[in-house]
Amino acid sequence: MVSQDWMDKDFYAILGVEKDVDDKTLKKTYRKLAREWHPDSRPGDKAAEQRFKDIGEAYAVLSDPEKRKQYDAVRAMGGGARFTAGAGSAGGAGGFEDVFAQMFGGGGGAQNVRFETGGGGIDLEDLLGAFGGGGFGGQQGFPGGFPGGSQGGYGRRGTPRGQDVEARTTIDFKAAVNGDTVTLSKPDGGTVSTRIPAGVKDGQKIRLRGKGLPSPVQGGEPGDMYLHVTVAPHPVFGRDGLNLTVDVPVTFAEAALGATVQVPTLDGPPVKVRVAPGTPSGRVLRVKGRGIAAKSTTGDLLAKVQVVVPQRLSDKAREAVEALQAEDGGADPRAELLRRAGT
């Protein structure tokens, strides 16, 4: 799913949290909502699927300190636009933020995408001043109208290239693992549909050759589009390279005596995994071939054992634990740690 302009979405309202929410509360709230609205628990419910994507997008922004700071600034300014230099350009600006896209026919039929360039930003006052000062009078309006703007350099035939642009999109975790197709809006009003490759990472930048703005002269090469991908976190699974990770709770009895437990997978039914007797909390159990598929190999599913300590004990259970403690003979599991620490 392509992320909407930050000005159009209240991520705090989507998650139902206050603007000063702390990281711990934010994460707890996200996990609760993600479990509630996960498509697997509401099969066929398109509204729930969209709600789940919105929740993931909101958390992806608010859980990242830098993105959250930028989001708060944009919302406070009412969506102030920025210009920066597009990757591979000759120093000119690459495009408008969506807040001004409609002024240049950039509404299109696609979902809004945030466009930006690479250098320092121009604030809202500077932008409005540019309108008043004739700063957008370059050739063909949009490409040559930025302060210090260029046409994007020159192509192989010596003709001016079109302007490079940058776009951002947010996709959910599962779509990142399996691949996805997204539709992006361009600053000139056009659209681009592209396939996000399977296994794309959070923060990865994808170059789309020839998908930028057209050349200002006939026969010139178009610019490129640089797509920055944000992957919304999953409420259950994590990622380590091509491996998927998941925390698996087990009872004290299962860890001590051994057991066969079910472990969820991302794209199929749970698998059964053997927990050996005496398994400590933190041990990782590997399920071969159930990770992320790449061109030449497939990762594994890494299930990390988390021993659950009972919060309440019946009298009979307490007696059993006390009997176990007595059997230990006062052994200190921290003795070796303290010895190695030199204390």
Highest mean pLDDT among 102-116, 183-197, 272-286: 272-286
- More reliable by pLDDT, 131 or 66: 66
Same domain, 200 and 254: no
Same domain, 248 and 153: no
**For position 284, which CATH number holds?**
2.60.260.20
pLDDT at residue 160 tops 60: yes
pLDDT at residue 326 tops 80: yes
Return mean pLDDT, the chain. 77
Domain's final residue, options 164, 196, 231: 231
pLDDT at residue 118 tops 50: no
What are the tens digits of pLDDT across the range 198-224? 999 999 999 999 988 888 888 889 999
> Has residue 270 been placed in a domain?
yes
pLDDT at residue 336 tops 80: yes
Instruction: Please give the tally of structural domains in the chain.
Output: 2
- Whole-number pLDDT of residue 142: 31
Helix (H, G, I), strand (E, B) or coil at 120: coil
Can you tell me the mean pLDDT for 94-114? 39
pTM of the shown model: 0.55
Same domain, 260 and 215: no
Of 62-66, 108-112, 216-220, 232-236, which range is least confident? 108-112
Domain's final residue, options 197, 231, 265: 231
Can you tell me the mean pLDDT for 145-151? 33
For 109, half-sphere exposure in the C-beta direction (CA atoms, 13 angstrom radius) is 1
Closest C-alpha among 115, 113, 130, 120 to residue 84: 120
